[in-house]
Amino acid sequence: MLLVFLCIAILAGLLIYGLLTYNDHKNVRQRYFAELKMAENRLAAARKDFELLDKPLQGLISKQFGNRMAENVKTETISTGMPSELLLVSWGEPAQVSYATDEMNKEVWYYDPFTTPEKETAYRTEITIEQNRVSTWKDRN
Amino acid sequence: MSNSNYYEILGLPKHTTDAEIKKAYRKLSLKFHPDKNPGDTYFEDWSKKINEAFAILGNPASRAAYDQQFETHSFKDQFYPRPGQYASAATATETAEEKAPPPKPQPSAAEQLVLRQVKDMVPDYLRLKGEYLLAKKEFELVKKKQAPAIFTKQQLLIGSGIALLAVAGLIYASIAATTRAPKVIMEPLPTPEWKKKA
């Protein structure tokens, strides 16, 4: 008889514990879904703002330089002869720029910096710009 | 006559009509008019170049003279490499100058204008692109976290274990009550005397 009471007491205890903690867990779940909704709203707003500028810019590039160039800019693909302004749109600002001393119109744009084992800053991609257009590029292995 | 490539300034091919030249001139004049951007030398320079190009190409006589000069390759170093142009020049005279690689293309006025517009848009574009990519990353991170369960796994495990033990205990108790309890033979009590008398 005592054993039966003990079991009933344990089960009742578990039930009460479950009911008491249920609200806490429910709150945690609600917080999670609220956070997800907020992140989703932020993403939608950022996408809307970005597209407001991206669409006319792509249209401008497409009209003047053709659909292929516009597609390259969008997919972050560079090509020889690409104007440096379009390279900026595609890859963003370079981490470092160096200017050739002998040729005024020659520049080297460095992208994707990393630290070498010797604790020096190096760059994975170097793009040479001649007369405001992409001339060559080099990837570091 | 200047050594400029007037066709390129107006953004037109060489074999274009007079109407197209006028149309391109009007369009570019409006775009590059210095009054639209007072004090900006860039617009002033291009406006001068456009007017100069139209002064030559807009007049049939001066255009014919210009075209003749064009045909003699006197401006070739300022043009985009056109199909056959450099090949014919190389076969005509084998001079060191003509063996040199073709020069880099110079952007036309229309192209310059577009590039300038693009350059003006770049800072805002990069900022918005960065914000969009950051928001996308944040959303993916939040989405990656699984929604928390109502009960944790540990709680469910402990609860099930205790419930199982309780059920096992109840079963054991009921079996023990029927099998292990000492058998009691219930004999009828003797009838009391007062009942017998009655």
Tell me, what CATH number does B90's domain have? 1.10.287.110
* CA–CA–CA angle B4, B63, B54 (5° rounding): 60
- Tell me the per-residue pLDDT of B19-58, one tens digit each, with 9 for 90 and over: 888 888 887 887 777 777 677 777 778 888 888 888 888 8
Least CB–CB distance from A39: residue in B115, B138, B150: B138
**A74 in helix, strand or coil?**
helix
**Cα–Cα distance for residue pair B31/B109, rounded to 1 Å:** 10
Q: Which helix (DSSP H) or strand (DSSP E) does residue A115 occupy?
A: strand A106-115
**B93 lies in some domain:** yes
**B185 lies in some domain:** no
Chain B 69-128, residues with CB within 8 Å of chain A CB atoms: 104-105, 107, 110-111, 114-115, 117-119, 121-122, 124-126, 128
Domain count for chain B: 1
Quick one: which of B97, B112, B108 has its CA closest to B10? B108
**B132 lies in some domain:** no
What's the sign of the alpha-carbon dihedral A41, A46, A52, A55?
negative
- Tell me the per-residue pLDDT of B69-90, one tens digit each, with 9 for 90 and over: 766 544 443 433 333 333 333 3
Cβ atoms within 10 Å of B59's Cβ, excluding its own? 13
Q: Tell me the shortest Cα–Cα distance from A118 to chain B, in angstroms.
A: 31
**B181 lies in some domain:** no
- CB contact under 8 Å between A64 and B128, yes or no, is no
**B23 lies in some domain:** yes
**B24 lies in some domain:** yes
Report the helix count and the strand count for chain B, using DSSP H and E: 9, 0
| Per-residue model confidence (pLDDT) at position B118 | 87
**B67 lies in some domain:** yes
ipTM over 0.85: no
Q: Which residue has the tokens 């030559």?
A: B56
Q: Is B93 exposed, middle or buried (0-12, 13-18, 19+ CB in 10 A)?
A: exposed
Q: Are the beta carbons of A134 and A87 closer than 8 angstroms? A: yes
Least CB–CB distance from A32: residue in B147, B167, B169: B147
Q: Is B169 exposed, middle or buried (0-12, 13-18, 19+ CB in 10 A)?
A: middle
- Tell me the per-residue pLDDT of B92-117, one tens digit each, with 9 for 90 and over: 333 444 444 555 556 678 888 888 88
Domain that holds residue B13: 6-111
Cβ atoms within 10 Å of A89's Cβ, excluding its own? 25
**B197 lies in some domain:** no
Quick one: which of A39, A38, A36, A43 has its CA closest to B146? A36
- Tell me the per-residue pLDDT of A31-43, one tens digit each, with 9 for 90 and over: 889 999 999 999 9
C-alpha dist (Å) from residue B17 to B14, B32, B52, B55: 9, 22, 18, 15
